[in-house]
Amino acid sequence: MAKSSEESPSRRTFMTAVIGLITALVAVALAIPILGEILSPLFKQRDIVWEELGKQSDLEKIEPLSPKFIPVYFKVREGWTVNTLPRQVIAVKDVDGSLHFFSNQCTHLGCPLHWIVARQKFMCPCHGGMFNILGKVVGGPPPRPLFEWVHKIENGTVFIQNKFLNNPKDRGI
């Protein structure tokens, strides 16, 4: 007759499986927060940042209705690195003296626009989109006016945010 303290092979196998399962569950429970911390930057939206565009006094010297293309370099954290994203700002002074800061990307499929002095229009080289000096569509397939960059003026300096006014996606560009 077998001793009562001896376990049958099937009971031993079952206990081993239960212990293995518990160990695996504990390991997963410990790993989830660590993995989340490591991977979370991959799923974050692009940072919203401000970059200096120039002195307000200089920008106010722009000729009315004559666009000035100004490069801006946004430094944004993406994942684990900080990247520099070059963008173009089209600064336009209206006849009333107000300043506008448009994106140079066509609102059809994003091609870069050129200002054609002779026609007094922004022209898109891709599909013939046309915008007037204040960003309104005046020809071609673009579905909406030019996007305007969010901007602010602090202590006489103009700053641009990597975000458009009325951007349906509330995220950096």
Binding site for ligand FES (CB under 6 A): 106, 108-109, 111, 124, 126-129, 140-142
CA distance 30 to 32: 6
Is the CB of 133 or the CB of 137 nearer to ligand FES? 137
Q: Choose between 41 and 139: whose C-beta lies nearer to ligand FES.
A: 139
Task: Work out how close the CB of 87 gets to ligand FES at its nearest, in angstroms, rounded to a whole number.
Answer: 17
Cα-based distances in Å from 28 to 33, 88, 117 = 9, 47, 64
For ligand FES, the closer of residues 75 and 127 by Cβ is 127
| DSSP classification of residue 57 | H
| Residue 138 Cβ vs ligand FES, minimum distance, rounded to whole Å | 12
Q: Cα separation of 133 and 149, whole Å?
A: 15
Tokens 């007759």 sit at which residue?
Answer: 1
CB of 39 vs ligand FES, minimal distance in Å: 35
Question: Do residues 161 and 154 touch, judged by C-beta distance below 8 A?
Answer: no
Q: What is the CA radius of gyration of the chain?
A: 29
Shortest distance in whole angstroms from residue 76 CB to ligand FES: 24
CB nearer ligand FES, residue 122 or residue 149 = 122
| Rounded Cα–Cα distance for residues 62 and 158 (Å) | 14
